[in-house]
Structures are given as structure tokens and as C-alpha cells.
Amino acid sequence: MAARVSLRTNLAGIQLPTPVLAASGTFGSGRELAGMVDLREVGGIVTKSVTPRPVKGMPTPRMAETPSGMLNAIGLQNPGVEAFVEKDGPFIEQAGVPVIVSIAGRSVQEFAEVAVMVSKIRGVVGIEANISCPNVERRGEVFARDPVAAADVLSTVTRMTHLPVLAKLTADVTDIVEVAQAVVRAGAHGLSLINTLLGMAIDVDAFRPRLGGVTGGLSGPAIRAVAVRCVYEVSQALPDVPIIGIGGVVDARSAVEFLLAGATAVAVGTANYFDPHATVEIARGIGEFLAAKGMSTPEDLRGRLVTPSRPQEPVYLGG
Amino acid sequence: MAARVSLRTNLAGIQLPTPVLAASGTFGSGRELAGMVDLREVGGIVTKSVTPRPVKGMPTPRMAETPSGMLNAIGLQNPGVEAFVEKDGPFIEQAGVPVIVSIAGRSVQEFAEVAVMVSKIRGVVGIEANISCPNVERRGEVFARDPVAAADVLSTVTRMTHLPVLAKLTADVTDIVEVAQAVVRAGAHGLSLINTLLGMAIDVDAFRPRLGGVTGGLSGPAIRAVAVRCVYEVSQALPDVPIIGIGGVVDARSAVEFLLAGATAVAVGTANYFDPHATVEIARGIGEFLAAKGMSTPEDLRGRLVTPSRPQEPVYLGG
Amino acid sequence: MNRQKCEVLSAKRWGVYHSITLVAPEIAEEARPGQFVQVAMPPGRDFLLRRPFSIHQASRTGGWAGTLEIAFTAVGPGTEWLTTVEAHDSLDVVGPLGRPFPLPRAPTNCLLIGGGYGAAPLYFLGQDLRAKGSRVDMIVGAKTQERVFKPVEAKRLSVSVSTTTEDGSLGERGNVTDVLPGMMARCESKVVYACGPNGMLRAVAEYCSEQGIPSQVAVEELMACGMGVCWTCVVPVVHRDGRGWSYERSCYEGPVFSGARVWWEKWLGGRSTPVQTPPEGFRLEEMTAEGVGTWPPG
Amino acid sequence: MNRQKCEVLSAKRWGVYHSITLVAPEIAEEARPGQFVQVAMPPGRDFLLRRPFSIHQASRTGGWAGTLEIAFTAVGPGTEWLTTVEAHDSLDVVGPLGRPFPLPRAPTNCLLIGGGYGAAPLYFLGQDLRAKGSRVDMIVGAKTQERVFKPVEAKRLSVSVSTTTEDGSLGERGNVTDVLPGMMARCESKVVYACGPNGMLRAVAEYCSEQGIPSQVAVEELMACGMGVCWTCVVPVVHRDGRGWSYERSCYEGPVFSGARVWWEKWLGGRSTPVQTPPEGFRLEEMTAEGVGTWPPG
Ligand SMILES: Cc1cc2nc3c(=O)[nH]c(=O)nc-3n(C[C@H](O)[C@H](O)[C@H](O)COP(=O)(O)OP(=O)(O)OC[C@H]3O[C@@H](n4cnc5c(N)ncnc54)[C@H](O)[C@@H]3O)c2cc1C
Ligand SMILES: Cc1cc2nc3c(=O)[nH]c(=O)nc-3n(C[C@H](O)[C@H](O)[C@H](O)COP(=O)(O)OP(=O)(O)OC[C@H]3O[C@@H](n4cnc5c(N)ncnc54)[C@H](O)[C@@H]3O)c2cc1C
Ligand SMILES: Cc1cc2nc3c(=O)[nH]c(=O)nc-3n(C[C@H](O)[C@H](O)[C@H](O)COP(=O)(O)O)c2cc1C
Ligand SMILES: Cc1cc2nc3c(=O)[nH]c(=O)nc-3n(C[C@H](O)[C@H](O)[C@H](O)COP(=O)(O)O)c2cc1C
Ligand code: FES
Ligand code: FES
């Protein structure tokens, strides 16, 4: 007997029609794609990160394809929060899809500024703090690489808004669980795991980096195993904290990997570029998967991972 | 006029016929492949890591293919240093290829024990300390993720041997430059960058991790961009320290990426599995590349990377 | 912007060029010269992203109504794979994308300059220009004879054609810019349209700016999405008032830009001249008034 | 162990099975039944590793001398791709790999048990056994009729054949183990050789151990290299003295192991019985004395 499947998902109090969102920086705010993708079928959109003032961004080339992935160095180009509120605000209000605004800044104060502004947009259902930004007050050290700085941002942002706030973390740290615990203690309502990995590629004919920004963010299926591991580690340590799993989700099976690892929802990044309907098709695929397994909601997958009892002694896992 | 190309490479005092080695754990000690690959054409072999006592290793499955890469969780299976000296020692003495022995342990003392034993094998030209191991004296925290513990290993191992010692680092840290600086201060003669990234994959039909060890090490072209970035970062900070670039080297062009990023040599890992002649063919390819560019040694490539002048202010590189 | 699974009607080859004609009624219906499509790559490869190709022809009426043609050379794994595509295969295509060439409000003398496969969209443009009563002249350049894109068709379409090759194997030896002043004078060109290597576009645009002639150039920058959402494909473009610049998306605000407004030095390097205000005689409003329809959408 | 670029002599298909015959003189020359080859995948894919296949036939003499045949079913991207390989294509093959089936020193009654494509290496083995004067009987099992591997050839090779399918569409309904006791008694089998799903091998090996009959089983574990250098493909094997165990490489110490020495519970899970000492009647020395030649090398 086939179970009745419902994809509706509660993510830190945010109601989503499906557990498949579009990841920040890979779907705009939905405006550009609205003519082609029926946004009502998208689980949610996390907007491109917005900063207090306009950012011109990095010189080109801004992307390089790599094996099963890509590098990008956009440099957070965005028109600034004022222009965002003006241009994207009206769109978001009537978009018919839950919109989470990604905010970024170079100081705690800047995060606070943007949080206040975007909270006023009707239709915005949550804030994602993209703390993979350099902190100008600490020699450019990335917030997300320092539990204290990361917690500072989250405690401030959560005080500045009535909306649920997700902290987006990077895997480029020694201990992602430590950072996760710090931001959750600071008030984060949920976590987005993970941002791109810091990488670099070189044009061996030109003797130049393939990116204008020299280094950039690695995304796509290439990083999926790292992302699944991060979600698993964090959800084992913080089983009650809702997590958006991000990194190389390209189909329903890769999405289910994240749900089994402990995520409440997933966000699709790079796959939107080659498959603009990815969020829609993956949600459909998850529905079929659940039906085939006799399950009724994505929530049924959480915690269902069967792991062998781990040995008592620490073991080497690198090879 | 074509320049005369010589591939001979001096790596921390170790003389290599070519700058293309086989990475630890991917070529045994050369014995199994000696019948098929002419070892005299291999730049060098880094053996599978050896520990003081035999290690049984992880339950199966021990590997999972991932997009443009693979995960492994072998758990350092090895017969222990005594059996290694006995069985591989005689082979190494007459192998006709420079052999660097990779050593591992769960305490500083264990590293020291192995270092002493393997230093006695004639034909061994260097030691690679695989510090991506859990430190049982610190709750299983991996040595390479803690600059202090990493330095402890290196200062001890370098005192225990007359051979040049390379420290093999992991990219799963907040700041790989900090770890590199710590081990170099402790006496490491060179660095091997990088070991596998910690990852995980899930069998969504079985609701189980695809590895018996749950998490494992990600290798192959998927991680190349991360590895090149690590080599670049470290060589910018420590321009005089010889580096073996490791991670997703599959052909001459990917090897040259590492050399331009600042490596003195490269080691081929996963590619040996599908192309057992990879080390030989890549060396030949580097020779052709150098000839085409009118260069005469791999060393000519170091420091030739042209980077745009970076902006003064820290910039966001994640997207 | 549509996404369609398109049947391949035919796959042809001439010299170094391959062309694929697709059944793509929705895309063909909307397509304007200068726009492009994004073609999906097959699954299971180690490269993921779609590849962008100019629309070489889009037939909205007649026997070929609803078809679309792209032309390309094999330069890497994506285009290599495309050379193996055969009739009746199916391609996943998104398009039409980007800002098309703006057509002049009133008929005038138009000079079309194509380098290599960059000439591909100019035939489609030339037809539209002629249909609206403009005079069309062409310069078609390439490295070598076999890379000159459809020289015979260029003759059919234009009042006069000048061909250049770097090795002199066809037409004049040299670059399109070598013959540009002469052609512009002879044809009394009032507008220049160009597509080709970015370096060529720069030379054309800079000459046109000096001469006070408007140029419209279709640029190429690495694209991850082609749909305006990733911001990888940007080009530094000077604001209309000449007092500042932004990175604009070549897939959305472009690929066609006014040659006078692209900040070439910033983009392609080389001598760093100050940002120029648009030259006198720059008539953007006039240029964009017609033929662009609802572009940009929303 | 050799690596050869091998021309495909023919690619055939029967039912769910595909087979590829390769010109591989060096590999065929050395090949022994139970060994396998590693076939390289094409470049540019998102999967990298070679795929292992048992040697179905290796012709050392006669008209087909120097050829090698593998047989497979399409289960994933690698085997899907192999189904597209055609005559005159070239495959990059490493082999022969692993420890072959040890042949009995003196002629005896041998029972060969194959499940699914696991039967593939048994025909090669059966020929060698018969050539040395042994009696060959076979059990060939599969899920369904079309998955029964070459039942006609099994008849040709063996004194008696028993066929089983899980759905009863051919032969007996059930598993090979259902008919095993009867066959073993009827044929007075003195040695059992098996290849097929690991669960089947376990059942066969456990039954043989109970009966005190030596079994040699060819196992399957995920392999990254196939050449003994990565240690991914291991199986827990009990030491000869029965007093301990190690993970042994199925590509190097295996894929053929004595069924009595594989620690099945540890490997495949299920009830955890204590490590067994080899059963009485276990004659490993005898078994390995012949036919193994220089294995393991060095
Ligand atoms: C708007 C636009 C229109 C184009 N029209 C045509 C056309 O009509 N005919 C034609 O032959 N080619 C055209 N190109 C170039 C074409 O897209 C590239 O040749 C193709 O993407 C190369 O893919 P590849 O896998 O074969 O090569 P690779 O070099 O391996 O591609 C690697 C990556 O770089 C990108 N890339 C490579 N070259 C270019 C390039 N010149 N411009 C932009 N991205 C590139 C690819 O899309 C891919 O993401 C156009 C490019 C753009 C941006
Ligand atoms: C010693 C040995 C002999 C074999 N002989 C045959 C044979 O004669 N005929 C045949 O049809 N198949 C045989 N197999 C199984 C065959 O190797 C797999 O079906 C094949 O590798 C699947 O690749 P794929 O890309 O199609 O599937 P995928 O499932 O996508 O493969 C993913 C990964 O898992 C590995 N893998 C998948 N299934 C198996 C399996 N059953 N055993 C080991 N590795 C696996 C692949 O090699 C690859 O690395 C043999 C396996 C081994 C170990
Ligand atoms: C071109 C590009 C731009 C991105 N911009 C942002 C951004 O502005 N803010 C952010 O938090 N993440 C950004 N990301 C990261 C993605 O949201 C996502 O975390 C990452 O790409 C991993 O997911 P994927 O593998 O599915 O792409 C960007 C990614 C790409 C590829
Ligand atoms: C199966 C396997 C086993 C490995 N074993 C070891 C090991 O014992 N010691 C070690 O330092 N690195 C080990 N490595 C890591 C490699 O040496 C190398 O650092 C890593 O695979 C990245 O290189 P690659 O992308 O070329 O494979 C192992 C890697 C693999 C895939
Ligand atoms: S290619 Fe993505 S915005 Fe232009
Ligand atoms: S598959 Fe590598 S050791 Fe067996």
C-alpha cells in the first residue's frame, strides 16, 4: 500500500512546500528565472548574498570548470541592500515562493545593518547569514573560520530581526562542529552546510591562475562527500538543530544522502546552472523515493541512517 | 631551438630522477607493480604508511566511487614495521627507485619507533610522516589538525633519523599555513600537501554509509583545486620549503599546475589505480611541456605563476 | 527564455565548422540576432555546465519554421562531444538568451564584422537588417582560409564583402581592422556590428569610437549559467553618463554591448587609459528603440 | 600482470549478457581460470576506476589463440558503457590478476557452482579440469531463466548439470544450495568450486565445511586498483592454523579463497559465530600444488 507523501517541510519554523531550496548565489532572487521555472514548485529561494553597500566584485575570469565541479570568484557582487530592497523587494512579496535572504558583511555592524533592512521586506521568511566573509576588523580572517567571530555575527543578527536566522558555515575549518555549536549557542535557529571549499586552478599555458581572484570557491558534485560528512558530523552533535544540506546536490538520490545524514532540507547550487528545473525535479524525485520506501514525509528519513557500531579506539580514516 | 630538458629533481636533498612520485598507499612499496611498471622510470615511491605494530584495518566496504574521485577507509592496514623491514626491506634495497617510507603512529613515541626502524633499511632515501592519524593521547584528535601536536611529531622524528623528513598535512584545517609553519619550525625538511579530505557517502537504498568506516578520505581530481590552493598558500608563506604537491594529479597538465603553484615535485595517488604507468607518463609529459616552453628543468616552473596584484582590502572569495 | 528538449534535424560539417539544426519552435519564435542558446552536456561526464552558442539562424516562417541553427568549432570536450551528435538525437537547450543586436530605427548603412565563428550570428542579423531596408556590408576575417565562416553566403547577403586571413590564404593578409577604415569609408557605414574574438572587438570598438560611429559588439566571457543568476560572465561597462562603471552580465545585459561603453582596458588588460565617456555621435537611444522588443524582460 | 591496449575482436549479446572478445596475447597466455582483468573506462567521465571482470575464456592455442573473453551484465555506468563497445574499438586491459582456482593434484570429481554471471569463469575452469582428467558436474543458478549463464554449454562440459532459478522459470525453483546436497551425493564430488553472489558462496562454503569437502570460492569485493596496492578489496580470512585472521586482498591473495577460511560472519554480517578452524579433510597443500604456477608472483 503506497503511503500518501507530503513534501511539506518545517525548517526552523519556516514552512516550505518542499525540502529542496535554491542555494544562495545560484538562483538570483528568482526574478531572472521566473519566466521559465514555475517558482511555486520551488521549495524556497535563498537569495544571492546582499551587503550594506554595493560591491563591484572580482575581475574576470570569475569561473573555471574543474572535474565534476567548478570554481567561482564573484566577490559578492551585489547592488547593496538599498537597491535590493527597492528592486527585489516587490518581486519577493509576490513571488509565491518562500524567500530567505542571504546577508553578508565585513563587520558585525554591517551584518546588523543588512538584517534590519531586509527584515522589512514582506514575503521574506528567513535570513541566512553568509559568514564566509572576510572580517575587516580581524585582518580579513573569515568569520566562519573563527567560532568567536561567527557567534558574534549570529548573536547580533538574531537580535536585529524577528525572522528565523540560519548560519551558513564553511567546511574549511579544523572542526566544523565547534563552529556550529558556537553559532547555535549564539542564537542561530538553523544551519546551512556547506559553502564552497576554497580552491584554485591554474592555466598552465598562460602561467596564470584561471580565476581573476586567484583563489575561489569549489562547488558541485566534487564536494558532495565533504558536505555530507559535515552534515553528518554536525547533526550527530546537534541533533535538534535544523540543517540545510548543501554541496553537490544534483538529483533526488544525492538529496536523500543529505536527509539521511541528518539534514531537514537541501539546497541546490551549481546544478541550477545546467538544470534550471533541478529544485523542482529533485523534490519530485524525493516524493517518488519516499513513496517507493513506504514513507510519507522527508522527515521520516532523518535519523534512519544505520551506522555500524564504531570501534572504541580512534581509527585512522585517511587511507 | 629546443632546450635540453632534465627532469632530475632535488627534493629536500633527495635526488629524484623525475619530479613525479607515487603517493603513499597507492603503489604499495612498488613490489606488486614491479613486473608491469619499469620502476627505474618512476620518480620515487612513497610507501604505504607503516606503524609500529600490525594494524588490521577497517571493515569493508573500504571504498566508494564519487564524482571524479573516490572515498577510502582502509584504516592504515599494514603488517607492522618489523614485517615491513623484513619483507619490503630487501625489495627496497634493490628496487632501483628512490623510496620514501611513510610512517604513522598513534603517539609521538610510536612515530619515533617506526622512524628508527625504517631508517635502517638501505635504499630508503627519506621519511614521510603521515600525521593525519588520530592521537590517542589527545582524545583521538588528528595530529595534523593541531599545530602543536604536529610539531611534536616532527621534532621527534627528525631527531630519530639521519634521513630527510617530510610532513604530510591535511587540508581539513582552518589554516594550513599555520600547521606548515609549525612543522617546519620543528625541523621538517619538506612538506607533502595534501592527504585526502574527510568525506562520506551514503547508500540511499540500504540507508547505510557506503564505507564500513562510515567516513573516509576523498581523493582524485575532485580535490585537485583544494590541493593546488593549499600548495599555493603554503609556498607563498614558506617559499624555501620543498613541497610535494598531491591531490588529483592525473596528467602532465595537472602536475604542472602544482609546480606552478610552488611545488618541487608531485605525487600521483588515485591515478595509479586506473593508470599504473601514470607516474612514468606524467614525467614524460612534463618533459615535453618543458621542451615546448623552451624550459630545461621542472624547477624553472616554480615561481613563474603570474598573479594579478591583489586588492588591498580582504575580499570575499566564496561566491 | 525557454527550455526545450530539441530534436536534431540535421548535423552538418564544412571545413573546421560543424552545424546543428534543431527543432525548437518556442526558442526560434522569440530569437533575435545576437542572442544565444545554452546547450546541455550529457550526464556522466566530468564537466557539467551547458555550453553557449550564438544563434546562427532561427527560422520563424517558411519551410524551416521553428528551427534553430548553431555553428561551432571543436575546441574542448564539450564541443568535441557536440560533433558526435546526429540527426534524431535530442538536445536540451535553453534560449533565446541575452540582449540581441539593436536594429537602427531607420534604414541605414550597416557594416557587419565577423571574426572566426563570430561571424555566425551576423547572417541572421544581416537578413533582418536587409528586411528592414538597411544596406549591409561585411568584413569576414579568420586565421586561415578554412576558418573563414561562410564567405559565399557573406557575398550573397552584402553589397560588398572584404575578407581577411592572418596568413593571407584567402582575401587580404591581415586582420579585419586593417581593412576596416577603407570599408567604412567606401560603404559610408553609419553603424558597425561586430562579433568575434574579444581582442578584435576591442580594436573595432576603439576605432569606431575614434570615428564617432556607434558600434555594437557581441562579447564572450566564461559563463556558468547563461541565465543571469551566477554573475560569472561579467564585463566592465561604463555607465551611460560616463561617470562610473559596473560589471554587467554578458549573458543578460549582453552579450551585445555598445562598443563605446565596454571598458576594454579593465576587462582585457593592456594599457590602462582612463574611462572614456561615450563618444560624440553615440546614439544609444536610437539604436535600442527598435527590434529589441521586450528586452530586458521585466 | 600485463597491461595491453587490446583490440575488440567481437562484441556479442545473448539475453541479459554481453560478451567482449579481445586480442590480448600476453594476458591470454598467462591466464588461469578464476583470474580476472581490469578494464579501463573512457576518459572524461565522472567515474575513474577500472572495472573488474572474470576471464570467461582465454585461448592459448588453436584458431583463437591469444584472445580473451569477458562476459557481463549492465548494472551501472561502467558496464553500460561497455555495452556500447564495438569490434575494432580498443580497450586498455590489465591482467591476468589474482589467484586462480587451484587444480587438484590428481583427477577427481569436481562440482562447479555458478550463480548469475558468476558462472562465467567456470567454463574455462571446467575445460582445464577435464583436460587433466577430472570429472566435472555443474550447478548453474540465477534469479530468472534469462539470467542463467550458458546452460547449453554447461551441459556440453559436464557429466551432469542441475539448473536452478529463483522463480522456477528454468530448472528447479530455488537456490543452488537447495540442490547442492543431492548433487554432491550423486556425483560423489570431492571438491567444490564456486563463483557467484557472496551470499551464495557463503552458503556453499558453509555446507562444504560441514561435509568436510574442500571448497574454493571466487569472491567479489569493491576494488579500486585490482593490482594489490590499495587494500580496498579485502576479505577477512582465517589463518591456516585457525588461530587468527587478517584482511586479505581479494585481488591478490584472492579472488579465489578456500571457502573454509573466509570468515563469513565478519565479512557479510549476520550471526557471529566464533572463528572456525579449517574443517577436517581440508587439503590446502594438495589443492595448491598444481596449476597455480608462479602464483603469487615474487
Ligand atoms: C555568448 C557566446 C556565444 C558563443 N557562440 C559560439 C558559436 O556560435 N560558435 C562557437 O564555436 N563557439 C561559441 N562560443 C564559444 C563556445 O561556447 C565555447 O567554444 C565552448 O563553450 C567550449 O566548450 P568546450 O567544452 O569544447 O571547451 P573548454 O574550453 O574545455 O570549455 C571549458 C569551459 O570554458 C567555457 N568556454 C570555453 N571557451 C569559451 C569561450 N570562447 N567563450 C565562453 N566560454 C568558453 C566552456 O563553456 C566551459 O565552461 C560562444 C560563447 C559565448 C559566451
Ligand atoms: C573479481 C571480480 C570479477 C567480476 N567479474 C564479473 C563478470 O565476469 N561479469 C560481470 O558482469 N561482473 C563481474 N564483476 C562485477 C563487475 O565488476 C561490476 O558489475 C562492475 O564493476 C560494475 O561497474 P558499473 O560502473 O557498471 O556499476 P557501479 O555499481 O556504478 O560501479 C560503481 C563502483 O562499484 C564497483 N562495483 C560495482 N559492483 C561491483 C561488484 N559486484 N563487485 C565488485 N565491484 C563492484 C565498480 O567497479 C565501481 O568501482 C566482477 C567483480 C569482481 C570484483
Ligand atoms: C557562482 C556561485 C555564487 C555563489 N554565491 C554565493 C553567495 O552569494 N552567498 C552564499 O552564501 N553562497 C554562495 N554560493 C555558494 C552556494 O550557495 C553553495 O553553498 C555552494 O555552491 C555549494 O553547493 P553546490 O555544490 O550545490 O553548488 C555561490 C556558489 C556559486 C557556484
Ligand atoms: C586507497 C588509498 C589509501 C591511501 N593510503 C595512504 C596512506 O597509507 N598514507 C598516506 O599518507 N596517504 C594515503 N593515501 C592518500 C594519498 O597518498 C594521497 O594523499 C591522496 O589520495 C590524494 O592524492 P590523489 O588525489 O592523487 O589520490 C591513500 C589514498 C588512497 C586513495
Ligand atoms: S552566466 Fe550566469 S549570470 Fe551570466
Ligand atoms: S583492489 Fe587494490 S588491493 Fe585489491
Min Cα distance A313 → chain C (Å) is 38
Please report the pLDDT score of residue A3 as a whole number. Answer: 58
Whether this model's ipTM surpasses 0.85 comes out as yes
Burial D220-254 (b: 16+ CB within 10 A, else e): bbbbbbbbbbbbbbbbbbbeeeeeebbbbbbbbbb
Verify that C113 and C198 share a domain, yes or no.
Answer: yes
D22: β partners? D8, D68
Q: Report phi then psi at D190, rounded to 5.
A: -110, -15
CB B90, CB B128: distance < 8 Å: no
Could you please report the per-residue DSSP string of B225-264? HHHHHHHHHHHHH-TTS-EEEESS--SHHHHHHHHHHT-S
Please report the pLDDT score of residue A121 as a whole number. Answer: 96
The three cell numbers of residue C221 are 566571457
Which atom number of ligand 5 is nearest to the Cα of residue C226? 1
CA–CA separation, B301 and B262 (whole Å): 8
What is the number of other CB atoms lying within 10 angstroms of the CB of residue A256? 25
Contacts of D50 in chain B (CB under 8 A): 273-274
DSSP A264: S
CA–CA separation, D197 and D185 (whole Å): 24
- Chain D residue with minimal CA distance to A68? D46
Distance D230 CA to ligand 6 centre (A): 5
Strands, DSSP E only, in D15-72?
Answer: 17-23, 36-39, 51-54, 57-59, 67-72
Burial C78-87 (b: 16+ CB within 10 A, else e): beebbeebee
Q: Is D152 exposed, middle or buried (0-12, 13-18, 19+ CB in 10 A)?
A: exposed
Q: Report phi then psi at D244, rounded to 5.
A: 180, -175
Q: Which ligand is located closest to the Cα atom of residue D226? A: 6
Verify that C91 and C165 share a domain, yes or no.
Answer: no
**Could you tell me which of A149, A237, A161, A152 has the C-alpha nearest to residue A193?**
A237
Verify that D151 and D169 share a domain, yes or no.
Answer: yes
**Is a pLDDT exceeding 60 seen at residue A21?**
yes
Domain boundaries, chain A: 9-57+74-200+219-317
Query: What own/partner pairs with CB < 8 Å and gap ≥ 24 does D241-246 have?
Result: D241/D277, D242/D275, D242/D276, D242/D277, D242/D278, D243/D277, D244/D275, D245/D275, D246/B56
Verify that D57 and D111 share a domain, yes or no.
Answer: no
Helix extents (H) in B133-219: 147-160, 176-185
What is the number of other CB atoms lying within 10 angstroms of the CB of residue D187? 20
Please report the pLDDT score of residue D276 as a whole number. Answer: 42
Q: Is A67 on the interface with D (CB under 8 A)?
A: yes
The three cell numbers of residue C18 are 560543424
Contacts of B221 in chain C (CB under 8 A): 46
Peptide bond into C297 cis (omega under 30): no
A19: β partners? none
Which chains lie within 8 Å of chain C at 3 or more CB pairs, if any?
A, B, D
Verify that D91 and D13 share a domain, yes or no.
Answer: yes
Whether this prediction's pTM lies above 0.90 is answered by yes
Which chains lie within 8 Å of chain A at 3 or more CB pairs, if any?
B, C, D
Side chain identity at A164, as an amino acid letter? P
- Chain D residue with minimal CA distance to C45? D45
What is the number of other CB atoms lying within 10 angstroms of the CB of residue B189? 20
CB A38, CB A45: distance < 8 Å: no
CATH classification at residue D138:
3.40.50.80
- Final residue belonging to a domain, choices D218, D250, D275: D218
Q: At which residue does the C-alpha cell 597443500 appear? A: D285
CATH for A9-57+74-200+219-317, options being 3.40.50.360, 1.10.10.60, 3.40.50.300, 3.20.20.70: 3.20.20.70
Distance A25 CA to ligand 3 centre (A): 5
- The helix/strand/coil state of C98 is coil
For chains A and C, count residue pairs whose Cβ atoms are closer than 8 Å: 98
Q: Note down the domain range covering C196.
A: 99-218
How many helices (H) does chain A have, and how many strands (E)? Answer: 8, 18
Please report the pLDDT score of residue B66 as a whole number. Answer: 98
Min Cα distance B43 → chain C (Å) is 28
Q: Report phi then psi at A264, rounded to 5.
A: -90, -30
Min Cα distance A38 → chain C (Å) is 12
SS3 content of chain C, % helix, strand, coil (to 5): 25, 30, 45
- CA-nearest residue for atom 46, ligand 2, is D51
Verify that D200 and D277 share a domain, yes or no.
Answer: no
CA–CA separation, B72 and D231 (whole Å): 9
Q: Is A288 exposed, middle or buried (0-12, 13-18, 19+ CB in 10 A)?
A: exposed
A187's torsion region: left (phi>0), alpha (psi -120 to 50) or beta? left
Min Cα distance A256 → chain B (Å) is 7
A191: β partners? A167, A243
**Could you tell me which of A220, A197, A198 has the C-alpha nearest to residue A273?**
A220
- Final residue belonging to a domain, choices C168, C194, C218: C218
pLDDT tens sequence for chain B (319 residues): 455 899 999 999 999 999 999 999 999 999 999 999 999 999 999 999 999 999 999 999 999 999 999 999 999 999 999 999 999 999 999 999 999 999 999 999 999 999 999 999 999 999 999 999 887 788 788 999 999 999 999 999 999 999 999 999 999 999 999 999 999 999 999 999 999 999 999 999 999 999 999 999 999 999 999 999 999 999 999 999 999 999 999 999 999 999 999 999 999 999 999 999 999 999 999 999 999 999 999 999 997 999 876 555 555 545 5
CA–CA separation, A32 and A45 (whole Å): 12
Contacts of D79 in chain C (CB under 8 A): none
Q: Is B232 on the interface with D (CB under 8 A)?
A: no
- Which contiguous run of DSSP H or E holds residue A84? helix A81-93
For chains B and C, count residue pairs whose Cβ atoms are closer than 8 Å: 3
CB contact under 8 A, B277 and D224: no
Closest partner residue to C247 among A34, A56, A221, by Cβ?
Answer: A56
Distance C121 CA to ligand 1 centre (A): 15
CB contact under 8 A, B72 and D232: yes
Peptide bond into A67 cis (omega under 30): no
Interval C253-290: pLDDT, tens: 999 999 999 999 899 985 434 334 444 433 333 333 22
**Is a pLDDT exceeding 70 seen at residue C216?**
yes
Closest partner residue to C231 among A31, A68, A74, by Cβ?
Answer: A74
Query: Which carries the bigger pLDDT value, residue C244 or residue B238?
Result: B238
- CA-nearest residue for atom 28, ligand 4, is A319
CA–CA separation, D237 and D266 (whole Å): 9
- CA-nearest residue for atom 2, ligand 3, is B319
Verify that D164 and D232 share a domain, yes or no.
Answer: no
Verify that D131 and D76 share a domain, yes or no.
Answer: no
Verify that C180 and C137 share a domain, yes or no.
Answer: yes
Verify that C240 and C150 share a domain, yes or no.
Answer: no
Please report the pLDDT score of residue C271 as a whole number. Answer: 44
Closest partner residue to B65 among D2, D47, D94, by Cβ?
Answer: D47
Interval A83-112: pLDDT, tens: 999 999 999 999 999 999 999 999 999 999
Contacts of A50 in chain C (CB under 8 A): none
CB A211, CB A63: distance < 8 Å: yes
- CA-nearest residue for atom 27, ligand 1, is C76
**Which residues neighbour C159 within 8 Å (Cβ) at sequence distance 6 or greater?**
C135, C136, C137, C187
Min Cα distance D293 → chain A (Å) is 33
CA–CA separation, A290 and A270 (whole Å): 25
Closest partner residue to C77 among D44, D47, D77, by Cβ?
Answer: D44
Please report the pLDDT score of residue A319 as a whole number. Answer: 55
CB contact under 8 A, D224 and B70: yes
Distance C222 CA to ligand 5 centre (A): 8
CB contact under 8 A, A217 and B319: yes
**Which residues neighbour C43 within 8 Å (Cβ) at sequence distance 6 or greater?**
none
Q: Ligand 2 in contact with D36 (CB < 6 A)?
A: yes
CB D2, CB D94: distance < 8 Å: yes
Please report the pLDDT score of residue D234 as a whole number. Answer: 97
Verify that D8 and D82 share a domain, yes or no.
Answer: yes
CA–CA separation, A250 and A276 (whole Å): 11
Distance C224 CA to ligand 5 centre (A): 6
- Which contiguous run of DSSP H or E holds residue B279? helix B278-292
Q: Which residues of chain D have pLDDT under 50?
A: 271-298
Q: Ligand 6 in contact with D49 (CB < 6 A)?
A: no
- Final residue belonging to a domain, choices C168, C183, C218: C218
CB A286, CB A20: distance < 8 Å: yes
What is the number of other CB atoms lying within 10 angstroms of the CB of residue B192? 27
- Chain A residue with minimal CA distance to D231? A319
Please report the pLDDT score of residue B137 as a whole number. Answer: 80
Please report the pLDDT score of residue B309 as a whole number. Answer: 67
- Chain A residue with minimal CA distance to B213? A317
Verify that D108 and D206 share a domain, yes or no.
Answer: yes
CB B163, CB B125: distance < 8 Å: yes
Helix extents (H) in A94-175: 108-119, 147-160
User: Cα A294 from chain centroid?
Assistant: 29
Write out the catalytic residue numbers of A: 133
CA–CA separation, D275 and C71 (whole Å): 68
Number of domains present in the structure of chain C: 3
Please report the pLDDT score of residue B313 as a whole number. Answer: 54
Q: Which ligand is located closest to the Cα atom of residue D99? A: 2
Which atom number of ligand 3 is nearest to the Cα of residue A219? 25
Q: Report phi then psi at B90, rounded to 5.
A: -60, -35
Average pLDDT over every residue of A75-80 = 94
Q: Is A35 on the interface with D (CB under 8 A)?
A: no
Please report the pLDDT score of residue B318 as a whole number. Answer: 52
Distance A132 CA to ligand 5 centre (A): 22
Interval C6-39: pLDDT, tens: 999 999 998 899 999 999 999 999 999 999 999 9
DSSP D45: B
Write out the catalytic residue numbers of B: 133
**Alpha-carbon dihedral D71, D73, D78, D84, rounded to 10 degrees:** 80
The three cell numbers of residue B197 are 579530505
Please report the pLDDT score of residue C275 as a whole number. Answer: 37
Please report the pLDDT score of residue D61 as a whole number. Answer: 77
